[in-house]
Chain A
Amino acid sequence: MDARMKWDSDDMIRGFSQEEPSARKKVYEAVTGLAAPGIVPLMEILCSSDPKVKTLAETALFDLCVHARNEGDRSLRKVLSKLQWALRKGPSVESRVLAAELMGVFDESRKGKRYLRRSLRRAEREQDFRMADAARCALFRMGEAVNS
């Protein structure tokens, strides 16, 4: 399993839905090593109906960010840029909620605050309570208390 190979969401679904736990583990480790190129396909499979795929996609996103951060600033910056995309245009509520959470934890430069504020305003306007809570929590982590 090569972290440099190109992965799309179908590859990840196939890898994560394998029966053998050790095979899933190998795919998981490769995916979390992908850094920024792994974000979009992982966001796309968050709503999978297969609980194995859904669970692994959720935790892989966090671990991918950890991996990128431990690799260095450059790698993390690229990941954060993809998370900003997910926050604005993520394919589902799940993906946007998770992007907010990850930015809250990993955006050391706090550049994502602008995107989070915008997401919060939009979520409140559209009465998307789940997204509003996620954005509020992320902003809180970044040191900004937001009234609900």
Chain B
Amino acid sequence: MQGRERREGNVKRVDRSRREFLKTALGGAVGLTLLSGRGRSFSPNERIVVGHVGVGGMGNSHVKWFAGMKDVDIAAICDVDRSHLADTMAQLKERRPDCRVKGYTDFRRLIERKDIDVITCATPDHWHALVAIHAFDAGKDVYGEKPLSHNLAEGQAMLRAMEKNQRLFQLGTQIHAGDNYHRVVELVRSGALGKIEKVTIWKEMGPSDIGYPVQQPVPAGLDWDLWLGPAPYTEYNPKRCHFTFRYFLDYSGGTYADFWCHIADIVFWALEPTGLKSVEARGERAWDSASDAPAWLEADFEFENLTLHWRPSIPDLPGAEGKGIGACFHGSKGSLICDYGSRQIRLGKEVIQDLPDVPQCVPRSPGHQRNFLDCVKNRNLPESHLAYARQMTLPMHLGLVSWRLRRKIFWDCHQERCIGDEMANRLLSRPGRTPWMLG
């Protein structure tokens, strides 16, 4: 480990520049000992107390996964929709009758509980940052769903809050823990494909199918004002709410924002692209629905050492057929195409799945949630920690800004500002509705 080590009380701290930190972070290195901060410290056999925020969709998977861990007690569940809350509480009672769990509709009441160590967050995207920041400030570690945040400035604020409170964060990119991604990283880093200067990633983007719904009275049991939170006020519309919220820019960024992390992850992990210089996106909104997020979007990202291309459909590349989502690493000696669970290497005319000569050198994950819980105990960096997740998510946000402004954006990666484009800079953040403004 680089840097100068020093002792503060009974904790080990390493002095490093931010650049060095990110370098290590992007490498996915483990072993950095963090301060235990305001949270309690754990012995390996101690139990971790978890609270879940947002259980309408993916949050139910969080509850199921964490309830399956022997060293976890689930103490609280929160959702602004009482029907979601009741369903999940009932499911948990069946799965873990021993859990004494309390329900909340306001996440602030859950977070203020001193006995809770860890928060998981599976709210709609526009709440990710605020829930995490509240949790960090209360001394809790966070397992948060992707995308990291609604906009770029929120990601910056999350990192500041996490570092200030010396907490941990794991982004819920579960595929990161799978064996295929680990092997792809080893193969790409081995040099067998030659020099890689270009990567294409894609996700098929289809119609949102939400039509033009009319406004309706707020259903009983739903706190619509709290659901909106930092987003601009609007009358209740079922399509703006559960599940289909992601087709509205007030809350998310469409399929593009939804899937970016899953597939960009393998590129950022394997190649650690640095020095983003420009982003140029093209696309279109939907013409058959109320959605204002991109119905399709393609974008080109120019880094110092790489060009990255996002495409909204399966590209015309050998091996890409039938893969609704994927990545293609174009090397000077060959190429590698992968998706979540498969890969194909092309070296000349040879098409193979693996290169046995490339050693297995990336430590395998014990599982994405298990890795996070282990890190909560030993204070190592989780696999998809916040600094890494933020670097990976940042280009996605810039793609949306470029699409909205219909022009290329030039990026100063040191200042994290658009060069000579004040309007683009203003779209890096979204001031929150009172009282939900970022500090």
Task: Name the CB-closest residue of B to A98.
Answer: B232
Contacts of B431 in A (CB 8 A): 104, 136-138, 140-141
Contact with A along B264-299 (1 / 0, CB 8 A): 000000000000000000000101101010000000
Of residues 394 through 413 on chain B, the ones whose CB sits less than 8 Å from some CB of chain A are 404-407
Contacts of A21 in B (CB 8 A): 287-288
B-side interface mostly = loop
Of residues 97 through 119 on chain A, the ones whose CB sits less than 8 Å from some CB of chain B are 97, 101, 104-106, 108
Q: Measured between alpha carbons, how far is A24 from B233 in the docked complex, in Å?
A: 27
- Known A22-B287, A51-B213, A97-B232; 14 more pairs at CB < 8 Å: A21-B288, A51-B290, A55-B212, A59-B292, A66-B404, A66-B406, A104-B426, A106-B423, A129-B434, A132-B434, A133-B233, A133-B434, A136-B431, A148-B435
B287, A59: Cβ atoms under 8 Å? Answer: no
Contacts of A104 in B (CB 8 A): 426, 431
Task: Name the CB-closest residue of A to B284.
Answer: A25
Which residues on A are within 8 Å of B, measured CB to CB? 21-22, 24-25, 28, 50-52, 55, 58-59, 62, 66-67, 69-70, 97, 101, 104-106, 108, 129-130, 132-134, 136-138, 140-142, 148
B433 within 8 Å of A (CB atoms): yes
Task: Name the CB-closest residue of B to A55.
Answer: B290
Shortest beta-carbon distance from A80 to chain B in Å:
12
B interface, how many residues as a size bin? 20 to 34
Taking a contact as CB atoms closer than 8 A, the residue among A51, A59, A136, A148 that contacts B285 in the complex is A59
User: Number of residue pairs across A and B with beta carbons under 8 Å?
Assistant: 64
Contacts of B432 in A (CB 8 A): 137
Task: Name the CB-closest residue of B to A49.
Answer: B214
Taking a contact as CB atoms closer than 8 A, the residue among B290, B292, B404, B434 that contacts A148 in the complex is B434
Question: Can you list 9 residue pairs at the A/B interface with Cβ under 8 Å?
Answer: A25-B287, A52-B212, A55-B212, A55-B290, A55-B292, A59-B292, A66-B405, A69-B405, A104-B426
Q: Measured between alpha carbons, how far is A58 from B234 in the docked complex, in Å?
A: 12
Q: Say yes or no: A69-B292 contact (C-beta < 8 A), given A134-B232, A137-B431.
A: no
Task: Name the CB-closest residue of A to B437.
Answer: A140
Contacts of A136 in B (CB 8 A): 431, 434
Taking a contact as CB atoms closer than 8 A, the residue among B212, B233, B427, B433 that contacts A105 in the complex is B427
Task: Name the CB-closest residue of B to A25.
Answer: B287
Q: Say yes or no: A105-B214 contact (C-beta < 8 A), given A22-B287, A137-B431.
A: no
A108, B287: Cβ atoms under 8 Å? Answer: no
Shortest beta-carbon distance from A78 to chain B in Å:
17
Shortest beta-carbon distance from A69 to chain B in Å:
7
7 A-B pairs with least C-beta separation: A137-B431, A21-B287, A51-B212, A140-B431, A148-B434, A55-B290, A21-B288
Q: Measured between alpha carbons, how far is A130 from B285 in the docked complex, in Å?
A: 26
Contact with A along B412-439 (1 / 0, CB 8 A): 0000000000110011011111110100
A58, B434: Cβ atoms under 8 Å? Answer: no
Q: Measured between alpha carbons, how far is A117 from B316 in the docked complex, in Å?
A: 53
Q: Say yes or no: A133-B212 contact (C-beta < 8 A), given A55-B290, A105-B426.
A: no
Q: Measured between alpha carbons, how far is A24 from B422 in the docked complex, in Å?
A: 31
Task: Name the CB-closest residue of A to B288.
Answer: A21
Task: Name the CB-closest residue of B to A28.
Answer: B287
Q: Measured between alpha carbons, how far is A55 from B416 in the docked complex, in Å?
A: 33
Q: Measured between alpha carbons, how far is A66 from B233 in the docked complex, in Å?
A: 23
Q: Measured between alpha carbons, how far is A62 from B423 in the docked complex, in Å?
A: 12
Shortest beta-carbon distance from B16 to chain A in Å:
32
Q: Measured between alpha carbons, how far is A62 from B212 in the docked complex, in Å?
A: 19
Contacts of B434 in A (CB 8 A): 129, 132-133, 136, 148
Contacts of B287 in A (CB 8 A): 21-22, 24-25, 28
Task: Name the CB-closest residue of A to B290.
Answer: A55
Q: Measured between alpha carbons, how far is A56 from B407 in the docked complex, in Å?
A: 21
Interface centre among B285, B407, B435 (most CB of A within 10 A): B285
Contact with A along B190-218 (1 / 0, CB 8 A): 00000000000000000000001110000
Contacts of A101 in B (CB 8 A): 232
Q: Measured between alpha carbons, how far is A141 from B425 in the docked complex, in Å?
A: 9
Contacts of A142 in B (CB 8 A): 426
Contacts of A52 in B (CB 8 A): 212, 290
B423, A105: Cβ atoms under 8 Å? Answer: yes
Q: Say yes or no: A108-B433 contact (C-beta < 8 A), given A21-B287, A51-B214.
A: no
